[in-house]
Chains A and B, each alone.
Chain A
Amino acid sequence: MVVVSWIALLFIGLPVFTLIAQAGPLVHNSYPSIIESIVTVDNVLQERKDSTKRITLDVERVTLEGALSMIAEKANLKLSFSRSEVSLSGLVTAKFRDVPVSDVLERITRGTSVVARIASDGQTILISRRIEQPLSDSAKVAVGTVSGRIIDSSTKGGVRGASVVISGTKIGTVTNTTGEFTLNRVPIGERVIAVKLFGYKSVNRAVTVSESGQGNLTISLAAVATSLAGVVTTATGTQRRVEIGNDVTKLNVDSLIKAVPVETISDLLATRVPGVYATPSSGSPGAPTKIRIRGMSSINQSNDPIVIVDGIRLASDQTKNSRNMAVPNATGNQGFLTSSPLDLIDINNVETLEVFKGPSAVALYGSDAANGVIVITTKRGKSGAARYTANISFGMESIPGKWPVNYHMWGHSKYDETIQMRCTLRVQVEGTCIPVNLISYQILDDSRRTPLGRGFSQSYSTTVSGGAGGLNYSLTGSIGSAEGMLKLPKVDAQLLRESGKSIPSWVRNPESNVRRSLGLNVGTEVGRHSNISLSSQLMHTSTAGSPLRNALTYANNAPPETDTMTSGLLTAIPNFRTKIGNQFLKYSTSLDLQSNVGPLLKTQFNIGGDWSFRNDRVSLGATECFVVTATCSNDGIFNTAENLTTVLTSNARASLPLRAGRFVSFNNSLGLNWVRNQDRTLRVNASGLAVGATSGNEAAVFTQNQMQNDRITAGVYLETVIGIANRWYLPLAIRTDAGSALGSQIAPKFPKLGLSYVLSDDNWFLSLPGASAISMLRIRGAFGSAGVQPDKSRNLRTFQSGFETINNSTVQFLSINTIGNTRLRPERSKEYEAGFDLDVLNDRISTTFTFYRKLTNDLIIDEMLPPSIAGLMNQQINLGDLKNTGIEVTVRAVPLDMNAARLSSDFSLSRNKNKLLKLGSRANGGAKPSGVAVGYPLYGYWAREVLGIYDLNEDGYISSTEYILNDSATFLGAPYPSFSLSSNQSLSLFRDITIQAFMQYEHKLTQRREEGAIRANFDPNTPLNVQAAHLYSDMNKIQTLSFFRLQELTLTYAVSPSMTPSILGSRNMRISLRASNVGLWTTYRGKDPKVNGSGGEIIEDNGVIPKPRKWQLTLSII
Chain B
Amino acid sequence: MATYSINHIGSTMIKIKVYVLSLLFLGGCSLSSLVDGADTSSEVKDPAAVRTPEGAAAMYNGVKIAFARVVRGTAPDAQTINFVRLSGLFTDELRAANMNADFPIQADEGIDSRTVSNIYSQQLYQNLNNLRALSQETRGLLKEIKIADWEKKVAEVYAIEAFVTIMLADMYCSSIPLSFLNYGGDYTITEGFSTETVYERAISLFDSAKVVLSTTTSDSSGIEHFINIGRGRALLSLGEYETAASQVSAVPTSYKYQLDYTVNYPKDVAHASYFIIADKEGINGLGFVSDNDPRTATAEHTNKLIPLTFAGGIEGRLIEVEAMIHARNDEWINSLNRLRTSCISQDDCITPAPAGTGGIAGLPMMTDSSLGLPDAEKFDKRLDILFHERAYWLFLTGRRQGDLRRLIRRYGRSSSVVYPTGTWGNRGFTAYGTAVSFAIPQQEIDSNSLYNGCVSQDE
Contacts and interface: CB of A to CB of B under 8 A. Distances in A.
Interface string B109-135: 000000000000010011111111110
Interface string B309-322: 00000000000000
A711 B15 CA distance: 34
B426 interface: no
A108 B178 CA distance: 80
Contacts of B43: 707-708, 793, 798-801, 817
Given A34-B13, A39-B6, A819-B181, A870 B262 contact: no
B189 interface: yes
B264 interface: yes
B242 interface: no
Contacts of B128: 871
Given A804-B265, A867-B444, A871-B130, A94 B6 contact: yes
Nearest to B38: A710
Contacts of A716: 23, 27-28, 31
A36 B133 contact: no
A744 B16 CA distance: 32
Interface string B47-72: 10010001101110110111000000
Nearest to A682: B41
A597 B3 CA distance: 28
Contact of B36 (A98, A740, A799): A740
Interface string A772-803: 00000000000000000000110011111110
Nearest to B447: A864
B451 interface: yes
B447 A922 contact: yes
A680 B45 CA distance: 13
Given A601-B19, A867-B125, A6 B28 contact: yes
Nearest to A811: B61
A802 B134 CA distance: 15
Interface residues of B, number: 85
Contacts of A5: 28
Interface string A27-39: 1100010101111
Interface stretch (A516-524, A669-677, A686-694): A669-677
A799 B8 CA distance: 62
Contacts of A821: 186
A868 B3 CA distance: 68
A3 B12 CA distance: 25
B7 to A, nearest CB: 5
Interface in A677-720: 678, 680, 705-714, 716
Interface of A is mostly: strand
B103 interface: no
B16 A801 contact: no
Given A43-B4, A706-B42, A870-B130, A3 B179 contact: no
Interface string B426-449: 000000000000000101101110
Contacts of B122: 867
Contacts of A187: none
B180 interface: yes
Given A43-B4, A714-B34, A814 B20 contact: no
Interface string B1-41: 11111111110110110011001101111011011111111
Contacts of B6: 26, 36-37, 39, 93-95, 107-108
A806 B262 contact: yes
B137 interface: yes
B41 A707 contact: yes
Nearest to B136: A870
Contacts of B10: 37, 93
Contacts of A98: 2
Interface in A515-540: none
A28 B8 CA distance: 8
B376 interface: no
A10 interface: yes
A471 interface: no
A135 interface: no
B28 A712 contact: no
Given A714-B35, A871-B129, A99 B58 contact: no
B129 A798 contact: no
B260 interface: yes
B177 interface: yes
A281 B446 CA distance: 38
Interface in A649-671: 652, 654, 656, 670-671
Nearest to A800: B43
Contacts of A799: 43-44, 50, 59, 62
Given A96-B4, A597-B19, A676-B37, A869 B28 contact: no
A814 B447 contact: no
Contact of B39 (A6, A108, A654, A708): A708
B37 to A, nearest CB: 4
Contact of B4 (A39, A740, A801): A39
Contact of B9 (A32, A814, A871): A32
Nearest to B131: A871
A598 B12 contact: yes
A575 interface: no
A407 to B, nearest CB: 33
B133 A866 contact: no
Contacts of A672: 23, 26-27
Contacts of A812: 54, 57-58, 61
B335 interface: no
Residue among B122, B186, B443, B451 with the highest chain A CB neighbour number at 10 A: B443
Contact of A802 (B12, B42, B127): B42
Interface string A578-613: 000000000000000000011001010000000000
A865 B58 CA distance: 26
Contact of B444 (A815, A822, A866, A870): A866
B98 to A, nearest CB: 22
A805 interface: yes
A41 B4 contact: yes
A813 B65 contact: yes
Given A597-B19, A740-B37, A37 B133 contact: no
A455 interface: no
A870 B189 CA distance: 10
A631 interface: no
Contact of B448 (A680, A747, A792, A866): A866
Contacts of B29: 3
A921 to B, nearest CB: 9
Interface string B279-296: 000000000000000000
A101 interface: no
Contacts of B39: 708-710
B44 A798 contact: yes
Contact of A797 (B47, B190, B443): B47
21 contacts: A37-B10, A39-B4, A41-B4, A95-B4, A601-B16, A710-B45, A712-B34, A716-B27, A792-B45, A793-B45, A796-B45, A799-B50, A801-B44, A804-B65, A806-B262, A813-B62, A863-B447, A866-B447, A867-B126, A868-B189, A871-B125
Given A710-B37, A712-B37, 14 more contacts: A3-B28, A34-B13, A37-B6, A39-B4, A598-B15, A712-B34, A796-B47, A798-B45, A811-B61, A812-B61, A817-B44, A868-B178, A871-B125, A873-B126
Interface of B: 1-10, 12-13, 15-16, 19-20, 23-24, 26-29, 31-32, 34-47, 50, 54-55, 57-59, 61-62, 64-66, 122, 125-134, 137, 176-181, 185-187, 189-190, 260-265, 441, 443-444, 446-448, 451
Interface of A: 2-3, 5-7, 10, 26-28, 32, 34, 36-43, 46, 54, 92-99, 107-108, 597-598, 601, 603, 652, 654, 656, 670-672, 674, 676, 678, 680, 705-714, 716, 738-740, 744, 747, 792-793, 796-802, 804-807, 811-817, 819, 821-822, 863-873, 922
Nearest 8 interchain pairs by C-beta: A871-B130, A708-B41, A870-B133, A43-B2, A871-B126, A716-B27, A710-B37, A866-B448
